[in-house]
Every structure is written in C-alpha cells, then in structure tokens.
C-alpha cells in the first residue's frame, strides 16, 4: 500500500456508503475515509501538544466522483495545526503534509496536489 511506503499505517477504515445504507437506508456513492497515522510523527506531535489527539489521525478520503473518476484527498495538517498556535508543531505538520502529498502523487502522478 502506498501509505505504508510513506510511513503511514491505517488505523481506521470507514465505508461511508455502507454506513449510510445501514443507518439511514439511503444510497450514496462509494466513499471511504482512511484514518492514516505516521507513528513517529504522531509521537512528536503528542510530545509538543498533549491535546493534539483531537486532530489525529490524518484523514484520507477516497471517493467515486462519477464518470469513472476516483478522487483522493487528504487533510492538510499545516492548516489544521495553525489553529493550535504551537510553533513546535509546524515542523511535524510540514513533514506530514509532504508525505501525504507524496502518497497522492504516487497514486496519481498527474494529480494536482
């Protein structure tokens, strides 16, 4: 898996399509939320800010956008960490952002990241 090659593990997988069908009885397009975590970076972030767990793991979304197009997107950890205003998190967030961009680029080399 591409996430693993870039140091991430998948802690959670949420099949939104299945959950909405189960809970609401509605049809929805294929939509997965992967809770991705880079353990080394999570540890560094937790050392810098004990409440950072509210923003972990990094969500990666895979969805069917129609017409055979699969869209992959990920949270921007730099934007998320700005809300905390802890400079020690900047380095971690920059690294994780780069790794997530690399994941998407590996999956779809022509994608805009």
Q: What is the CATH number of the domain that holds 47?
A: 3.30.310.70
What total of structural domains would you count in the chain?
1
Query: Which two three-digit tokens encode residue 14?
Result: 């949420």
Name the 3-class secondary structure at 20.
helix
Domain span including residue 71: 2-107
pLDDT at residue 70 is higher than 80: yes
Residue 113 lies in a domain: no
* DSSP strand pairing (9-15 vs 58-66): unpaired
Lowest mean pLDDT among 13-27, 35-49, 97-111: 97-111
Q: What is the pTM of this model?
A: 0.88
pLDDT at residue 47 is higher than 70: yes
| pLDDT at residue 5, as a whole number | 94
Mean pLDDT of 90-111: 87
**Residue whose structure tokens are 């205003």:** 85
Sign of torsion, CA 19 20 22 28?
negative
pLDDT at residue 61 is higher than 90: yes
Residue 112 lies in a domain: no
Q: Where are any strands of DSSP class E within the chain? A: 9-15, 31-37, 58-66, 69-74
pLDDT at residue 41 is higher than 90: yes
Residue 67 lies in a domain: yes
pLDDT at residue 16 is higher than 90: yes
Mean pLDDT of 61-83: 91
pLDDT at residue 13 is higher than 70: yes
Mean pLDDT of 77-91: 88
pLDDT at residue 86 is higher than 60: yes
Residue 76 lies in a domain: yes
């Amino acid at each position: 898996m591409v996430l693993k090659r870039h140091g991430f593990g998948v802690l959670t997988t949420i099949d939104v399509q299945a959950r909405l069908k189960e809970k609401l009885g509605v049809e929805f397009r294929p939509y997965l939320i992967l809770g991705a975590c880079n353990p080394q970076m999570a540890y560094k972030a937790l050392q810098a800010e004990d409440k950072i767990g509210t923003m972990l793991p990094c969500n990666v979304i895979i969805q069917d956008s129609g017409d055979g197009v699969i869209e992959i997107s990920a949270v921007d950890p730099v934007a998320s960490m700005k809300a905390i205003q802890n400079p020690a998190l900047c380095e971690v967030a920059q690294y994780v952002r780069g790794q997530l961009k690399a994941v998407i680029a590996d999956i779809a080399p022509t994608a805009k990241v």
